[in-house]
Amino acid sequence: MQNRIASSDSALFDALKRDGFSFVTADVMRPLLQASGDLSDWNAFAASWNQLGPDPYLAATGRLRRRRHATYTAMAHGDVELAPHQPHYQTLQYNRLQGDIERWFEPVEAAMANGASLRTILAFCNDFFSALAPEVSRWHVETHQFRIEASPDAAGEPTPEGNHRDGVDFVLVLLIDRHNIASGTTTIHTPDGKPLGDFTLTRPLDAALIHDPRVFHGVTPVLPLEPTEPAHRDVLVVTFRAKA
């Protein structure tokens, strides 16, 4: 897979190794994904964001977000297996807002968790991240469906914890849809706060690839363009962490 990645877009592979992050436009991301599988259920996959449940932990702080969550185990360059449903956990070191608690979210719908599009995305991530970390033989993988909603009275906060790391090895942030929103700019920083870059995911399949131990990332709040219409930003976040 490393050779395939390098031959199709060596700049992407090299940029992540060199800089710790890369912005990938949809016209580059789509063929990379299609080299790993198919996206035949993409319309149903994208529509499943309409079925997300509220994030009860964030609602307790007065913020609004919808999400679903699933966990997988992956052998490097091999099979990716759906694991039993389990909580999402981060320490306070990585999540100052909601760290040190087990957070249970509604599971990704079974048809989507085992569907073509998500399986293709996971296969791409497994091969790409495994090529970047050849010493890892097995991965703990988490997938998060996020919908950030905005209103004239309250901006949507894609990263309410601010600039942060996720406490994993690698992260994919994939845009699924954005409707009637402005901003939502991804910012990348060094651990001491020096800005390294920024970009905005605007088209479905625009993506950010992040080497989490090396850089911090955040997303600016989103606001509705037309105040009287619904406004949302839908993303899929996939994290890979080396499994002992």
pLDDT at 8: 46
Mean pLDDT in residue range 217-232: 93
pTM: 0.91
Q: How does pLDDT run across 141-197, given as a tens digit for each residue?
A: 999 999 999 988 888 887 767 788 999 999 999 999 999 999 999 999 999 999 999
Given a cut of 90, is residue 55 above it in pLDDT? no
Locus of tokens 């920083």 = 189
Q: How confident is the model at residue 70 (pLDDT cuts 50, 70, 90)?
A: very high
The DSSP letter of residue 89 is: E
8-state DSSP, 158 = S
- The backbone torsions φ and ψ at residue 12, rounded to the nearest 5 degrees and listed phi first, read -65, -50
Count how many Cα atoms sit within 13 Å of the Cα of residue 236 in the half-sphere of its side chain. Answer: 26
| The pLDDT of residue 236 is above 80 | yes
Q: How high does pLDDT run on average in the chain?
A: 89
Secondary structure element (H or E) that encloses residue 116, with its range? helix 116-132
pLDDT tens-digit profile of 95-141?
Answer: 555 545 767 889 999 999 999 999 999 999 999 999 999 999 999 99
Give the closest residue to 147 by CA, choosing from 221, 70, 54: 54
In order of start, what are the domains of the chain with their CATH numbers? 2-242 (2.60.120.620)
Dihedral (Cα; 55, 57, 59, 63), 10-degree rounding? -90
